[in-house]
Amino acid sequence: MNIHKMSIKEIKDYLLSCEGISAELEKQIQADTRSGVEAAYKLWLRKKEKTEQLYTLWHEMSAYERGLWSRGHSYIAGVDEVGRGPLAGPVVTAAVILPETIYLPGLNDSKKVSPAKREELYKQIRENAIAVSVGISDHHLIDTINIYQATLRAMSSAVHNLPVAPTVLLNDAVTIPGVPMRQIPIIGGDAKSISIAAASIIAKVERDRMMAEYDQVYPGYGFSRNMGYGTAEHLDALKVLGPSPIHRRSFAGVLQPAGET
């Protein structure tokens, strides 16, 4: 390939279509004095750097899994929750078993991923995971046994409902009672384990979709925007409308919103 015989558009299209180029070709591009070629090369370098960063993150976040896979654990389930803090709606948990061969660039703690990227990752996880299961504890159970116990019960449900039985669990910070397999609680696990991160993505998207539906049933609280968290908009609505049927009565701020006496 002779760069000097190619148009700027041809060079740009070529660079955008490939992940790597030979040292000789890169030397030709660097020697090309056309400003358009220089711009295309800089764009390719940024793309390459981003690709390398994503792979490095994946490598770091898959350390727990690689260690367990190497010891014969083919079915590792990551377990996480979303929705412990909101004033309304359920707490949603997920358990996900990923195959050893999977690579999902950009997978991370759901709180660190944009809504559009979460939807993309959600689809990829659903299509490629060995198994995915969701557990839900509604506002009634949360008010009855408290949010922590309700979360553990939803996690247990997610694990038991997996169509493939895991041999080990990677959990975000907690130990789940009533499950027979080995558990490894990891503090901040949704940013340290690809399995837990995948579970956080599934749980987050599932719960967000539920809250968007609740927004249609119980308008005025902004559930599709705040997902039940105690934003200023939400607290103002509580003062005017009072709690909806899905509000957690045991949570401070629901029956007496913050700021009232």
Please write the tens of the pLDDT for every residue from 177-212.
999 999 999 999 999 999 999 999 999 999 999 999
Q: Is residue 198 helix, strand or coil?
A: helix
Phi, psi of 92 (to 5 degrees): -120, 135
Structure token digits, residue 251: 């949570």
Q: What is the pLDDT of residue 11?
A: 86
69: left (phi over 0), alpha (psi -120 to 50) or beta: alpha
Q: What is the mean pLDDT of residues 147-154?
A: 98
What structural domains does the chain harbor? Answer: 3-61 (no CATH), 73-207 (3.30.420.10)
Confidence of residue 112 (pLDDT cuts 50, 70, 90): very high
The model's pLDDT over 120-136, given as tens digits with 9 standing for 90+, comes to: 999 999 999 999 999 99
What pLDDT was estimated at residue 256? Answer: 66
Share of the chain above pLDDT 90, in %: 81
- pLDDT tens track for 216-247: 999 999 999 999 999 999 999 999 999 999 99
pTM of this prediction exceeds 0.85: yes
Q: What is the pLDDT of residue 157?
A: 98
Hunting for tokens 């909806």 — which residue is that? 244
H helical segments located in 94-231: 115-128, 139-145, 147-160, 194-217, 223-226
42-56 pLDDT, tens per residue? Answer: 998 999 899 999 999
94 CB burial (10 A radius; 0-12, 13-18, 19+): buried
Mean pLDDT of 1-25: 85
CA 76 to CA 65: how far, in whole Å?
Answer: 7
pLDDT in tens, 77-90: 999 999 999 999 99
